[in-house]
């Protein structure tokens, strides 16, 4: 049975402006520029300026929508449905939208406009196709077969499709009948293309191809050729023992001295496991760079924090929209606006509001980021002055939230995707947040400190006999850090350090 009743609830909802601020806050500087470009395309009332946005003197604006213009039940059916606009001019003209711009127009920027030259290069696939002339191609059909093989090579330079699958591709897409034997024959020739190792089906074949190409060089010294021949035998016949670093077994099976085995392994380690990585393919995949959001300098012991200039975009309200409002004021002076004028004013009002909200969100983003990073800088001052990771203090999101007065979720948005440039390298803010543990003296230490000591111990170990996790646990215990072996393994994995067996060297 359905019933109706009334109830009161206290709900807290985020405004569109707050949602916009949160979205802007969580994106890094590298993506902020793209987000601004999107906003410029969507909102004609927003434009790029020539000067920096004046954060300190930006006036507080009233963004409330007036009920006369925001109502959903407005009736525009009568052409002479006029309204009095006098109540709105003070908001949009006297409270000048141009205050949302930069410094005085006569101010000259010290920075010249710089453009980054872009290198235009062929794609990796095009580079391979340019080498088709090296093949002994008899007709157009064989050329199509070769191009199909080249098109099946992935970004790493490997061919991970079986000859039978390539035969099927040719039949269904190009109506060309071929045999796996033809594909194999052409593939053998393609595998001699540059870069060495291209077209291999797996890592073992890739390394073997590179060694075979090296042996073709008759100018190599005989001792060097022997080392390459031994390396080729290891890859072709003893690849599993090599990959698991069973060096003692390799010495016994191949009847090699330790020096001979070391020379052969050194030759293998010089090879490229991803042959396509040596080709600068700017045409298909752009290089990824980290753009720091903050720049932290140490000036004679005094830390100086600044925002990256890309976080202060040149944005302002379009002057044409302000001029349009002035024009409407002059043309409707002393009378009520008609339907078309009212719609035009509503459109301008919405675009100016949106532009103001966006500029204000950028300003708040800058303030939030700066206050958060400044709190982190003060909390981790000893590290930023020395660069010693053992000086990183235990710090959680709540510590910075308490200092800044922001919510923990706000601190998390800033920390997860932002970077700070220091004299010790560019660091991700998230790296400075860590749990704490007690040492043997009862002092609170950061897990970052423990990882640094663990990394140093492994770095100084004998590679002939690497330390096991149990040994590492005992060493850390002697240094005053009582942690379990499984915790040592977890920290080691977080540092991307392999197990002892895989760290072994001759």
Higher-scoring residue by pLDDT: 505, 312: 505
Name the band, by pLDDT with cuts 50, 70 and 90, for residue 62. Answer: very low
- CATH numbers and ranges of domains, the chain: 124-278 (no CATH), 437-506 (1.10.10.60)
Rounded mean pLDDT of 26-42?
80
Rounded mean pLDDT of 427-446?
74
Q: What's the pLDDT at 301?
A: 81
Rounded mean pLDDT of 25-44?
80
Higher-scoring residue by pLDDT: 311, 252: 252
Q: What's the pLDDT at 76?
A: 34
Give the pTM. 0.54
What is the enclosing helix (H) or strand (E) of 207? Answer: helix 203-215
Rounded mean pLDDT of 26-44?
81
Q: What's the pLDDT at 39?
A: 82
Q: What's the pLDDT at 90?
A: 52
Of 237, 260, 134, residue with least CA distance to 193: 134
Cα separation of 160 and 201, whole Å? 6
Q: What's the pLDDT at 375?
A: 92
Enter the DSSP assignment of 468. P
Q: What's the pLDDT at 64?
A: 37
Q: What's the pLDDT at 441?
A: 65
Q: Return all residues near 387 (Cβ < 8 A) that are at least 6 apart.
A: 422, 423, 424
Q: Return all residues near 180 (Cβ < 8 A) that are at least 6 apart.
A: 163, 164, 167
Q: Which single residue is written with the structure tokens 């704490």?
A: 436
Rounded mean pLDDT of 119-136?
74
Q: What's the pLDDT at 17?
A: 66
Q: What's the pLDDT at 23?
A: 76
Q: What's the pLDDT at 15?
A: 67
Q: What's the pLDDT at 279?
A: 67
| Structure tokens that stand for 206 in this block | 């890739």
Cα separation of 481 and 450, whole Å? 8
Q: What's the pLDDT at 334?
A: 63
State how far the alpha carbon of 386 is from the alpha carbons of 175, 302, 423, in Å: 67, 12, 10
Cα separation of 192 and 210, whole Å? 9
Pairing relationship of beta strands 444-446 and 302-307 according to DSSP bridges: unpaired
Which of helix, strand or coil describes residue 303? strand
Name the band, by pLDDT with cuts 50, 70 and 90, for residue 312. Answer: low
pLDDT in tens, 315-331: 888 788 777 777 776 77
The pLDDT of residue 56 is above 70: no
Q: Which of 102-106, 305-309, 448-452, 502-506 ranks highest by mean pLDDT?
A: 305-309
The pLDDT of residue 118 is above 60: no
């Amino acid at each position: 049975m359905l019933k109706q009743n009334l109830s009161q609830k206290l709900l807290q909802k985020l405004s569109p402006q707050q949602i916009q601020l949160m979205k802007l806050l969580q994106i890094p500087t590298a993506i902020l520029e793209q987000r601004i470009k999107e906003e410029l395309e969507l909102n004609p009332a927003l434009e790029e300026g020539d000067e920096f946005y004046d954060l300190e003197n930006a006036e507080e604006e009233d963004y409330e929508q007036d009920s006369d213009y925001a109502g959903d039940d407005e009736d525009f059916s009568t052409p002479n449905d006029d309204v009095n606009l006098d109540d709105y001019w003070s908001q949009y003209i006297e409270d000048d939208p141009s205050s949302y711009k930069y410094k005085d127009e006569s101010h000259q920027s010290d920075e010249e406009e710089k453009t980054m030259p872009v290198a235009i290069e062929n794609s990796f696939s095009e580079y391979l196709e340019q080498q088709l002339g090296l093949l002994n191609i008899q007709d157009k059909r064989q050329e199509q077969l070769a191009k199909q093989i080249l098109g099946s090579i992935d970004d790493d330079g490997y061919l991970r499709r079986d000859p039978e699958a390539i035969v099927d591709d040719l039949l269904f897409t190009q109506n060309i009948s071929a045999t796996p034997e033809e594909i194999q024959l052409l593939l053998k020739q393609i595998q001699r293309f540059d870069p060495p190792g291209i077209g291999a089906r797996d890592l073992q074949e890739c390394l073997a191809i590179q060694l075979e190409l090296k042996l073709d060089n008759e100018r190599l010294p005989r001792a060097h050729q022997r080392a390459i021949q031994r390396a080729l035998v290891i890859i072709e016949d003893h690849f599993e023992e090599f990959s698991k670093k069973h060096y003692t077994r390799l010495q016994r099976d191949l009847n090699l001295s330790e020096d001979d085995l070391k020379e052969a392994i050194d030759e293998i380690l010089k090879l490229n496991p991803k042959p396509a990585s040596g080709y600068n393919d700017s045409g298909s995949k752009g290089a990824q760079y980290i753009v720091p959001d903050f720049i932290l300098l140490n000036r004679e012991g005094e830390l100086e924090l600044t925002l990256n200039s890309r976080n202060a975009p040149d944005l302002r309200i379009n002057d044409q929209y302000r001029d349009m409002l002035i024009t409407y004021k002059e043309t409707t002076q002393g009378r009520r606006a008609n339907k078309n004028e009212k719609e035009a004013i509503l459109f301008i009002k919405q675009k100016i509001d949106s532009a103001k909200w966006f500029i204000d969100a950028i300003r708040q983003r800058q303030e939030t980021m700066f206050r958060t990073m400044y709190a982190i800088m003060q909390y981790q001052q000893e590290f930023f002055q020395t660069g010693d990771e053992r000086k990183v203090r235990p710090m959680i999101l709540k510590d910075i939230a308490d200092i800044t007065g922001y919510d923990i979720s706000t601190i998390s948005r800033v920390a997860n995707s932002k970077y700070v440039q220091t004299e010790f390298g560019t660091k991700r803010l998230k790296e400075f947040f860590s749990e704490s543990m007690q040492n043997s003296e009862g002092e609170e230490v950061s897990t970052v400190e423990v990882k640094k000591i663990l990394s140093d111990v492994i770095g100084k170990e004998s590679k002939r006999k690497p330390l096991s996790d149990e040994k590492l646990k005992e060493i850390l215990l002697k240094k005053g850090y009582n942690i379990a072996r499984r915790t040592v393994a977890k920290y080691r994995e977080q540092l991307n350090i392999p197990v002892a067996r895989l760290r072994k060297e001759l």
